[in-house]
Protein backbone atom coordinates (compact mmCIF):
# COMPACT_ATOMS: atom_id res chain seq x y z
CA UNK A 1 0.00 0.00 0.00
CA UNK A 2 1.40 3.38 -0.94
CA UNK A 3 0.65 6.70 0.71
CA UNK A 4 -0.75 9.37 -1.58
CA UNK A 5 1.56 12.36 -2.13
CA UNK A 6 -0.99 14.86 -0.83
CA UNK A 7 -1.17 13.00 2.49
CA UNK A 8 2.60 13.19 2.84
CA UNK A 9 2.56 16.91 1.94
CA UNK A 10 -0.11 17.61 4.57
CA UNK A 11 1.73 15.61 7.22
CA UNK A 12 5.01 17.32 6.35
CA UNK A 13 3.35 20.72 6.48
CA UNK A 14 1.87 19.91 9.87
CA UNK A 15 5.28 18.90 11.20
CA UNK A 16 6.95 22.06 9.87
CA UNK A 17 4.16 24.28 11.19
CA UNK A 18 4.39 22.55 14.56
CA UNK A 19 8.13 23.16 14.73
CA UNK A 20 7.77 26.80 13.73
CA UNK A 21 4.95 27.50 16.17
CA UNK A 22 6.50 25.83 19.19
CA UNK A 23 10.03 27.17 18.95
CA UNK A 24 12.38 25.14 21.10
CA UNK A 25 9.80 23.53 23.38
CA UNK A 26 10.50 19.82 22.80
CA UNK A 27 7.39 18.63 24.65
CA UNK A 28 5.10 20.73 22.49
CA UNK A 29 6.92 19.57 19.35
CA UNK A 30 6.35 15.96 20.39
CA UNK A 31 2.67 16.62 21.01
CA UNK A 32 2.30 18.25 17.61
CA UNK A 33 4.08 15.38 15.87
CA UNK A 34 1.85 12.87 17.66
CA UNK A 35 -1.25 14.83 16.73
CA UNK A 36 -0.17 14.97 13.08
CA UNK A 37 0.43 11.21 13.06
CA UNK A 38 -3.04 10.55 14.48
CA UNK A 39 -4.63 12.91 11.93
CA UNK A 40 -2.80 11.15 9.10
CA UNK A 41 -3.89 7.72 10.34
CA UNK A 42 -7.47 8.96 10.60
CA UNK A 43 -7.32 10.24 7.03
CA UNK A 44 -5.90 6.97 5.75
CA UNK A 45 -8.59 4.93 7.49
CA UNK A 46 -11.52 7.11 6.48
CA UNK A 47 -10.18 7.35 2.93
CA UNK A 48 -10.03 3.56 2.77
CA UNK A 49 -13.57 3.23 4.09
CA UNK A 50 -14.93 5.67 1.50
CA UNK A 51 -12.97 3.93 -1.29
CA UNK A 52 -14.38 0.51 -0.37
CA UNK A 53 -17.89 1.94 -0.07
CA UNK A 54 -17.53 3.57 -3.49
CA UNK A 55 -16.44 0.27 -5.04
CA UNK A 56 -19.51 -1.39 -3.50
CA UNK A 57 -21.78 1.28 -4.97
CA UNK A 58 -22.57 3.10 -1.72
CA UNK A 59 -23.13 6.87 -1.97
CA UNK A 60 -20.46 9.25 -0.64
CA UNK A 61 -21.96 10.78 2.51
CA UNK A 62 -19.47 13.65 2.39
CA UNK A 63 -21.46 15.22 -0.48
CA UNK A 64 -24.11 17.75 0.59
CA UNK A 65 -26.64 16.60 -2.03
CA UNK A 66 -26.46 13.01 -0.72
CA UNK A 67 -26.86 14.15 2.89
CA UNK A 68 -29.86 16.38 2.08
CA UNK A 69 -31.47 13.44 0.29
CA UNK A 70 -30.88 11.31 3.38
CA UNK A 71 -32.37 13.98 5.65
CA UNK A 72 -35.50 14.14 3.50
CA UNK A 73 -35.80 10.34 3.61
CA UNK A 74 -35.34 10.37 7.37
CA UNK A 75 -38.07 12.97 7.83
CA UNK A 76 -40.38 10.89 5.61
CA UNK A 77 -39.74 7.83 7.79
CA UNK A 78 -37.81 5.96 5.06
CA UNK A 79 -35.12 4.73 7.44
CA UNK A 80 -33.74 2.07 5.08
CA UNK A 81 -32.78 4.51 2.32
CA UNK A 82 -31.79 7.23 4.79
CA UNK A 83 -29.24 4.83 6.30
CA UNK A 84 -27.38 4.78 2.96
CA UNK A 85 -27.44 8.57 2.45
CA UNK A 86 -26.46 9.86 5.89
CA UNK A 87 -23.27 9.58 7.96
CA UNK A 88 -23.78 7.03 10.74
CA UNK A 89 -23.93 9.58 13.56
CA UNK A 90 -26.49 11.73 11.75
CA UNK A 91 -28.61 8.70 10.93
CA UNK A 92 -28.62 7.33 14.48
CA UNK A 93 -29.38 10.68 16.10
CA UNK A 94 -32.09 11.39 13.51
CA UNK A 95 -33.82 8.05 14.09
CA UNK A 96 -33.65 8.59 17.86
CA UNK A 97 -35.08 12.10 17.47
CA UNK A 98 -37.90 10.85 15.20
CA UNK A 99 -38.84 7.97 17.48
CA UNK A 100 -38.54 9.58 20.92
CA UNK A 101 -39.59 13.19 20.26
Q: Residue 22's pLDDT is what?
A: 62
Say what the pLDDT of residue 73 is.
93
pLDDT at 78: 93
Among candidate residues 52, 18, 63, 20, the one with its CA nearest the CA of residue 37: 18
- Residue 19: the pLDDT is 65
Domain boundaries, the chain: 1-58, 59-101
| Nearest CA-CA partner of 33 in 13, 43, 18 | 18
Write down the pTM of the prediction: 0.51
What pLDDT is attached to residue 68? 92
Q: What is the pLDDT along the chain (101 residues), one digit of tens a residue?
A: 567 777 777 777 777 776 666 666 666 667 777 787 777 777 777 777 777 777 777 788 778 888 899 999 999 999 999 988 898 889 999 999 988 87
Amino acid sequence: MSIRPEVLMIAGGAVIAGLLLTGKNAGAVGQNLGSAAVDMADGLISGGVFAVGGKMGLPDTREAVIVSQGQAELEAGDYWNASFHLPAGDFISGVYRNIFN
